[in-house]
Structure 1
Amino acid sequence: MIKLTDFIKTPDINSTKIKFNMNSGNVNEKAWDMLLEDKQDWIEINAWKKKQTNNNFGSAKYVIALAQYYPYGPEYFVFGGIYKIEKIEPEVFDDVGYNLIPMEDYKEYRKRLIIKLAKPIGRDVYNRLYARVQEQLNPEIYELSPDVKLGQFPGYQNVSIKHVDLQQIVSGDEPSWKNALSYVKGVYVITDLNTGQLYVGSASGNTEGIWQRWSSYSNFQNPTGGNKEFNIIHEKTPSYITQYFQYSILEIFDTKTKIETIIERENYWKNVLDTKKHGMNHN
């Protein structure tokens, strides 16, 4: 076992806090999702200052920020960086109360390093002194991913991934994703997060199911998947699809399902979501 405090050092361990971020105040948005997309919310939940002093940084000069890595379980956390702490004066409470300055130390491990605690912790003890965390929670280095960690396949009903994540999953041949998506046919929806328009498509072929169809979208040079409408968008603004497209699954089918059945369901969803008139389907 490699202890966390043996692996990550700070300029002053006695002036360092470690923060175990779980869900934000909005329970629909988890800390790991904020970190993964580098949202401003990620900084804010770490810099938030409450009236309860045990939840604040006190005289600490540095903080190690972690996000609960829920694809693995409640005792797993992913490293989100080390920050230098500057207090905001005059003091404010129940608001952002600190300026957090990202440090270069261990920057290459952000979103890749997974630690495991001896047991899950409660929300009332998520802020700890780093000098004492090893004896209290016994965190160990569990995994160092070669790339940004995306996690295990979350289940067909929970698939909602950005284009850049799809590219990473396909290029990395992520086993759990490939296995899950290769063994089903299906109807899917692509969302343009910029305009809100939808495109309904299907994977009805006999080989490698949704995985094969979505792999065609993940091509770094041509992310259109052979779609004429997407090709127009790509030619006009090459970075648009990568920046704004998101992929989700509407229905799945056994690989033995007839093509006609899947096409029928694809047309059903086009009508329900009105994607011919108000979306990106033109047939």
Structure 2
Amino acid sequence: MSTIPLSAVLPAGFDPSQVKLHCAVYNGERHPIDVLSNDPEAWKGWNSWRGVKDDFNRQFVFSLAQDRHDPTLWLFGGIWEVTGRRHEPRALSYDIVLRDDLMGPFIQRLWVRLPLAGRNRRRNMESLLDQMTVSSIQEEAFVGDPFPGHDRINHALTEIQAVVAQQRPDWRIALEHMKGVYVIHDQETGEPYVGSAYGDTGIWQRWSYYAATLHGDNIGLKEHLETIGEVAYRERMRFALLEFWSMRTDDGHVLEREAYWKSVLLSRSLGHNKN
């Protein structure tokens, strides 16, 4: 099947020579697709930010957020009109207005395929338009990856933080009334930390605390955070469930299984567990 060029869905009379393409990528703290799907004001800020150069020096900004898993896939984040500019670098120096009349229904629904080369993420749109194709147009706006199933969780801390920030109902309902044993491991070193949720604290509440504190008040994780730094820690630490049960499960059983997994994964001697 032949691909559909992005130009086929652009508004009539759309002039790419008046448009800057903003291909937003991970900034070391947040993934743009999380910002677009969860925080409209922050997303506006991403598109009004001026670096050293006056990159958004045209009438419009065509915004895209890079997919977390596929660097050639981008989610459409709207067409913004630049109504004012200031010369201050590294600040929100552009006044912008979202033009809902220009492809508004496609926001968070249109996926664009663009294998972007080079480090420049703010380009003249006409220079890349012939490389941009329609990957898909979804019926519903993208609000984050759906809950994969208890036995298929393998997510970085940044992803857990995004899910918690959005209060994703599919994730929350699946986890908040479950006890369980989980592992948090550094994907570069393989060093594990085994923990558990028991008592009145379900997995959702426990992981929400990690999202807020990064370390969950665990001594070993605190030390690891200090060693590798926050940016690397958010990306490298991954969460998975080892076992999970209903809230009716006896706490003694949960703690017994936690000890078992600490022994199996050598998380005391080779990981971050201190007890």
Q: Hey, what's the Cα distance between the residues in 2 that align with 1:202 and 1:98?
A: 42
| Pair 1:57 & 2:47 matched | no
Q: Aligned to 2:108, what secondary structure does the other structure show?
A: coil
Distance change (3 Å), C-alpha of 1:57 and 1:265: same
TM-score normalized with structure 1 length: 0.56
Deviation string, structure 1 residues 236-279 (Cα, Å, up to 9, x no partner) = xxxxxxxxxxxx97742289xxx55885239979xxxxxxxxxx
Q: Hey, what's the Cα distance between the residues in 2 that align with 1:266 and 1:46?
A: 51
Residue 179 of structure 2 contacts residue 202 of structure 2 at CA under 8 Å; is this kept in 1?
A: no
TM-score normalized with structure 2 length: 0.57
- Using the TM superposition, give the Cα deviation of residue 36 of structure 1 relative to its aligned residue in structure 2, in angstroms: 1.0
1:69 to 67, 70, 79: 67
Deviation string, structure 1 residues 189-230 (Cα, Å, up to 9, x no partner) = xxxxxxxxx962269xxxxxxxxxxxxxxxxxxxxxxxxxxx
2:107 to 107, 110, 122: 110
Aligned to 2:242: 252
Q: Hey, what's the Cα distance between the residues in 2 that align with 1:262 and 1:110?
A: 49
Moved beyond 6 Å, runs of 4+ = 266-269
Q: Aligned to 1:115, what secondary structure does the other structure show?
A: strand
- Using the TM superposition, give the Cα deviation of residue 113 of structure 1 relative to its aligned residue in structure 2, in angstroms: 1.2
Q: Hey, what's the Cα distance between the residues in 2 that align with 1:163 and 1:94?
A: 26
Q: Hey, what's the Cα distance between the residues in 2 that align with 1:143 and 1:43?
A: 24
The alignment covers a number of residue pairs equal to: 192
Residue 85 of structure 1 contacts residue 98 of structure 1 at CA under 8 Å; is this kept in 2?
A: yes
Q: Hey, what's the Cα distance between the residues in 2 that align with 1:2 and 1:66?
A: 18
Aligned to 1:143: 136
Residue 187 of structure 1 contacts residue 200 of structure 1 at CA under 8 Å; is this kept in 2?
A: no
2:26 to 16, 23, 26: 23
RMSD of equivalent CA atoms? 3.8
Letter of the 1:23 counterpart: Y
Residue 111 of structure 2 contacts residue 135 of structure 2 at CA under 8 Å; is this kept in 1?
A: yes
Aligned to 2:39: 38
- Using the TM superposition, give the Cα deviation of residue 23 of structure 1 relative to its aligned residue in structure 2, in angstroms: 1.5
Q: Structure 1: which 5+ runs fail to align?
A: 172-177, 189-197, 204-247, 270-283
Q: Hey, what's the Cα distance between the residues in 1 that align with 2:48 and 2:203?
A: 44
Alignment of 1:77-156 (within 5 A): 77-89=74-86, 91-104=87-100, 105-117=102-114, 119-124=115-120, 126-135=121-130, 138-149=131-142, 150-151=144-145, 153=148, 155-156=153-154
Q: Hey, what's the Cα distance between the residues in 1 that align with 2:104 and 2:252?
A: 46
Alignment of 1:165-244 (within 5 A): 166-167=168-169, 186-187=180-181, 200-201=201-202
- Using the TM superposition, give the Cα deviation of residue 144 of structure 1 relative to its aligned residue in structure 2, in angstroms: 1.4
Q: Aligned to 1:86, what secondary structure does the other structure show?
A: strand
Q: Hey, what's the Cα distance between the residues in 2 that align with 1:75 and 1:268?
A: 40
Q: Hey, what's the Cα distance between the residues in 2 that align with 1:250 and 1:2?
A: 38
Which moved further from structure 2: 152-161 or 126-135? 152-161
Aligned to 1:242: none
Q: Percent identity?
A: 18
- Using the TM superposition, give the Cα deviation of residue 97 of structure 1 relative to its aligned residue in structure 2, in angstroms: 1.5
Q: Aligned to 2:7, what secondary structure does the other structure show?
A: helix
- Using the TM superposition, give the Cα deviation of residue 122 of structure 1 relative to its aligned residue in structure 2, in angstroms: 3.3
Q: Structure 2: which 5+ runs fail to align?
A: 183-198, 205-237, 260-275
Q: Hey, what's the Cα distance between the residues in 1 that align with 2:60 and 2:8?
A: 17
